[in-house]
């Protein structure tokens, strides 16, 4: 197999080749390394390929049978490996914990080869940091790959690996999926364990999963990573059958809530709105009932959730644990301002934040309860140029301005981290200039099975596998 052939396969396809003896896991590892050497100098998505990449565990067996995999540099950890969280504060830090997520990855045959870039502390929707630089979008190098899982998205889009780890606390899987033309699912709260030491990150706002190119890989990954562990605080209803089996089951007729209006301070780009309209028409042609929905929450409800002294307490504790101090030498300007802003809040604000979560879950839940699924834009705009508010060196923006900007751009994504519902960005459209446009499908809490079936229907009706970025291994 050569590199141009390697990039044509999704993870399921590569695993099938291994099972038939047409390629070996070692050959796939070497192809991934070759792809990295070819495209990574241009996109800056991978910050480390492990020296022992050719001998790491996860080389055979399982659903994925030796398929190359990459780990985002924050979130689920691998014991003994660097985990620097995109920050100078954690430079050189190695995790002493092996997450359940990566134990399951290895058991499924995924071979973790290295680390991908993230914004500092995973805190912004663009992937650039003082520690690791700017990650370029393989579709347009001057545009953002999104964040905070931008390195994972850029690596998959450019063909380094067909699937990669990401996590999502406000859109950090779905945003880069939208801007890089990928499938990005944020599962229900409690579907994927954060254990053994991250079971309750942000009151369940953040969840680990993957970025990939096909719905069947998404379904297979759900089968790999789903399931509770002892001590998990969120135990939800378990699926009736493997998620890959949902790929062959009927969808039925659904009530679909459609978001055609802005839910925040950033207006919908006309091209994004046209993509929503086209997808809504497609769903109607499939026999579903469509009903327009109004914004189910007020933007200030979401932005207020970021104002919590616990944010500063958690960072203080992490810094003390590694014997370092928080300053302008260890944190980027915006994150330092956010830290100082939250540090100076009265402790009573933590209870206010928890009440804000409860109120938002209740009001949004009531507003959308009548629908089987929702169709929304993933983002109100297409991929933006690097820099601006989210520049790693921007010292002009205040903590309040940053939170308002973040709320505006994450207007369709962060709300479902709060409610805990599963939501997936699908690469169903493109702008006139060729930039990917993701559309978001939101399911009922715990009903990833329905999302798998709807996503399959849309992938079959509007295939995206023929769309390829300008920068891709084997042809760039």
CB 181 within 8 A of CB 212: no
DSSP state of 308: -
Strands (E), 213-355: 255-258, 289-292
Which pLDDT does position 413 carry in this prediction?
A: 98
172 catalytic? Reply is yes
Convert the pLDDT of each residue in 108-121 to its tens digit.
999 999 999 999 99
CB 417 within 8 A of CB 206: yes
Paired tokens of 351:
């209870």
Instruction: Examine residue 468 and state whether it is found in any structural domain, yes or no.
Output: no
Question: Whose CA is closest to 166, among 176, 179, 157?
Answer: 176
Residue 317, class by beta-carbon neighbours within 10 Å (0-12 exposed, 13-18 middle, 19+ buried)?
exposed
Phi, psi of 253 (to 5 degrees): -95, 130
CB 260 within 8 A of CB 269: no
Average pLDDT over residues 70-93: 98
Question: Whose CA is closest to 256, among 234, 279, 224?
Answer: 279
Convert the pLDDT of each residue in 248-279 to its tens digit.
999 999 999 999 999 999 999 999 999 999 99
Instruction: Examine residue 469 and state whether it is found in any structural domain, yes or no.
Output: no
Q: What are the CA-CA distances from residue 360 to residues 62, 233, 366, 415, 440 (Å)?
A: 40, 20, 10, 8, 20
Choice among 4-18, 231-245, 420-434 with the minimum mean pLDDT? 231-245
Q: Which residue in 123, 172, 178, 391 is the catalytic one?
A: 172
Instruction: Examine residue 471 and state whether it is found in any structural domain, yes or no.
Output: no
pLDDT over threshold 70, residue 58: no
pLDDT over threshold 90, residue 195: yes
Which pLDDT does position 59 carry in this prediction?
A: 62
298 catalytic? Reply is no
Q: How many helices (H) and strands (E) does the chain have?
A: 15, 15
Which pLDDT does position 25 carry in this prediction?
A: 95
pLDDT over threshold 70, residue 451: yes
pLDDT over threshold 90, residue 380: yes
Q: How far apart are CA 419 and CA 46, in angstroms?
A: 32
Choice among 12-26, 250-264, 352-366 with the minimum mean pLDDT? 352-366
Beta-bridge partner residues of 71: 115
Scan for tokens 């790929």, then name that residue: 247
Average pLDDT over residues 453-476: 95
Q: How many domains does the chain have?
A: 1
Q: How far apart are CA 166 and CA 176, in angstroms?
A: 10
Beta-bridge partner residues of 374: 257, 442
Question: Whose CA is closest to 306, among 194, 414, 387?
Answer: 414
Q: How far apart are CA 42 and CA 414, in angstroms?
A: 30
Q: What are the CA-CA distances from residue 82 to residues 9, 149, 209 (Å)?
A: 29, 17, 19
Structural domain range at position 208: 3-461
Instruction: Examine residue 472 and state whether it is found in any structural domain, yes or no.
Output: no
Q: How far apart are CA 456 and CA 222, in angstroms?
A: 14
Strands (E), 21-74: 46-49, 68-72
Residue 19, class by beta-carbon neighbours within 10 Å (0-12 exposed, 13-18 middle, 19+ buried)?
middle
Beta-bridge partner residues of 289: 255
Instruction: Give the CA angle between residues 273, 276, 280 to the nearest 5°.
Output: 140
| Mean pLDDT score of the chain | 95
Average pLDDT over residues 184-213: 91
Scan for tokens 């839910």, then name that residue: 263
148 catalytic? Reply is yes
Q: How far apart are CA 339 and CA 134, in angstroms?
A: 23
Which pLDDT does position 307 carry in this prediction?
A: 77
Strands (E), 378-433: 423-430
Instruction: Examine residue 223 and state whether it is found in any structural domain, yes or no.
Output: yes
Convert the pLDDT of each residue in 277-328 to its tens digit.
999 999 999 999 999 999 999 998 898 877 778 889 999 999 999 999 999 9
CB 255 within 8 A of CB 288: yes
Coil, strand, or helix at residue 167?
strand
Which CATH number belongs to the domain containing residue 326 in this structure?
3.90.1300.10
Average pLDDT over residues 340-356: 85
Instruction: Examine residue 317 and state whether it is found in any structural domain, yes or no.
Output: yes
Q: Residue 350 — pLDDT band, cuts 50, 70, 90?
A: confident
Which pLDDT does position 70 carry in this prediction?
A: 98
Instruction: Examine residue 476 and state whether it is found in any structural domain, yes or no.
Output: no
Paired tokens of 23:
């390629």
Coil, strand, or helix at residue 255?
strand
pLDDT over threshold 90, residue 476: no
Q: Which residue in 87, 129, 144, 148 is the catalytic one?
A: 148
Question: Whose CA is closest to 10, among 69, 94, 61?
Answer: 69
More confident residue, 129 or 390: 129
Phi, psi of 112 (to 5 degrees): -75, 115
Q: Residue 407 — pLDDT band, cuts 50, 70, 90?
A: very high
Beta 136-137 vs 373-377: how paired, if at all?
unpaired
Paired tokens of 411:
């207007």
Q: Which residue in 72, 149, 188, 353 is the catalytic one?
A: 72
Instruction: Examine residue 167 and state whether it is found in any structural domain, yes or no.
Output: yes
CB 376 within 8 A of CB 440: yes
Strands (E), 339-404: 373-377
201: left (phi over 0), alpha (psi -120 to 50) or beta: beta
Q: How many CB atoms lie within 10 A of CB 395?
A: 11
pLDDT over threshold 80, residue 60: no
Q: Residue 374 — pLDDT band, cuts 50, 70, 90?
A: very high
CB 414 within 8 A of CB 301: no
């Amino acid at each position: 197999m050569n590199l141009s052939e390697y990039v044509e396969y999704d993870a399921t396809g590569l695993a099938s080749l291994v099972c038939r003896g047409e390629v070996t896991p070692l050959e796939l590892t070497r192809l991934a390394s070759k792809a990295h050497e070819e495209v990574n100098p241009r996109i800056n998505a991978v910050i480390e390929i492990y020296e022992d990449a050719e001998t790491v565990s996860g080389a055979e067996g399982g659903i994925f049978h030796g398929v190359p995999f990459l780990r985002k540099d924050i979130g689920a950890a691998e014991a003994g490996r660097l985990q620097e969280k995109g920050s100078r504060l954690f430079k050189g830090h190695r995790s002493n914990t092996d997450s359940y997520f990566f134990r399951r990855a290895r058991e499924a045959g995924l071979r973790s080869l290295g680390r991908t870039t993230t914004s500092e502390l995973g805190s912004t929707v663009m992937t650039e940091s003082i520690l690791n630089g700017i990650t370029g979008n393989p579709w347009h190098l001057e545009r953002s790959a999104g964040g905070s899982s931008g390195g994972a998205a850029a690596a998959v889009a450019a063909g380094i690996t067909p699937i990669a780890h990401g996590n999502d606390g406000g859109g950090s899987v779905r945003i880069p999926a939208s801007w890089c033309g990928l499938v990005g699912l944020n599962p229900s709260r409690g579907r994927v364990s954060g254990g053994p030491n991250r079971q309750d990150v942000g009151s369940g706002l953040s969840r680990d999963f993957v970025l990939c190119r096909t719905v069947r890989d998404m379904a297979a990954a759900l089968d790999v990573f789903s399931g509770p562990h002892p001590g998990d605080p969120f135990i939800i209803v378990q699926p009736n059958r493997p998620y890959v089996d949902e790929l062959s089951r009927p969808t039925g007729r659904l009530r679909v809530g459609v978001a055609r209006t802005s839910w925040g301070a950033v207006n919908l780009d006309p091209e994004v709105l046209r993509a929503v309209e086209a997808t809504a028409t497609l769903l109607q042609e499939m026999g579903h009932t469509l009903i327009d929905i109004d914004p189910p929450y007020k933007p200030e409800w979401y932005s207020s959730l970021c104002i919590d002294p616990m944010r500063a307490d958690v960072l203080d504790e992490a810094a003390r644990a590694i014997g370092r101090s928080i300053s302008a030498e260890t944190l980027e300007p915006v994150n330092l301002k956010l830290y100082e802003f939250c540090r100076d809040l009265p402790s009573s604000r933590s209870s206010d934040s928890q009440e804000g979560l409860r109120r938002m879950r209740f009001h949004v839940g009531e507003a959308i309860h009548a629908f089987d699924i929702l169709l929304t834009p993933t983002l109100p705009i297409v991929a933006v140029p690097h820099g601006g508010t989210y520049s790693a060196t921007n010292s002009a923006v205040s903590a309040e301005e940053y939170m308002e900007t973040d709320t505006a751009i994450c207007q369709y994504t962060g709300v479902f981290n709060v409610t805990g519902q599963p939501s997936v960005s699908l690469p169903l459209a493109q702008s006139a200039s060729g930039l990917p446009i993701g559309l978001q499908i939101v399911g009922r809490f715990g009903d990833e099975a329905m999302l798998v079936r709807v996503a399959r229907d849309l992938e079959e009706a509007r295939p995206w596998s023929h769309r390829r970025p300008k920068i891709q291994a084997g042809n760039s």
